[in-house]
Amino acid sequence: MPAPDQVRITPVSIGAGATSPGSREPRVRSVPLIDLTILEEIIGPDPTGLRSFLTEFLHVSRGLKLELRAAYVAGDARAVQRITHNLKVDCRAVGALALGELCARLERDAKSEDWTAMAESIAVFEPLVTKVGEAVSRFLSEA
């Protein structure tokens, strides 16, 4: 199995905004772009099942990315909340934890109709979902 890519995520851009003790700078932690061991723990060591889940995830995540953009542009906070909730669950299941965490933040921001926070998260979301998709595609082409 190929090694997962790594992405550096700042909690301020995707989460709680915690800072390091004695510092005003946000903690930076390394989060795998995708950790396929999480999906393997769910379905077991089944290469065919892994490929099937990942292929479906690619298809669904691409569609939800477009739906999310449309809902955001339309000012439909309820749709943003529903879409990010669904994508969050899928991301966490396949091991795309950083993207899942960002979806959770977007879901909270949509629930509170915080359009400024949503704008900041959407700016991070779109390139991140693309990177996750590229990592999954690379895995599928190498597996």
pLDDT bin (cut points 50, 70, 90) of residue 76 is: very high
Domain spans, the chain:
34-142
- pLDDT tens by residue, 2-55: 433 443 333 323 333 434 445 444 444 567 789 999 999 999 989 999 999 999
Distance between CA atoms of residues 86 and 71, nearest Å: 14
Domain made up of 34-142: CATH architecture: Up-down Bundle (1.20)
Cβ neighbours, 10 Å, residue 138: 13
**Lowest mean pLDDT across 22-26, 64-68, 119-123, 130-134:** 22-26
pTM of the model: 0.78
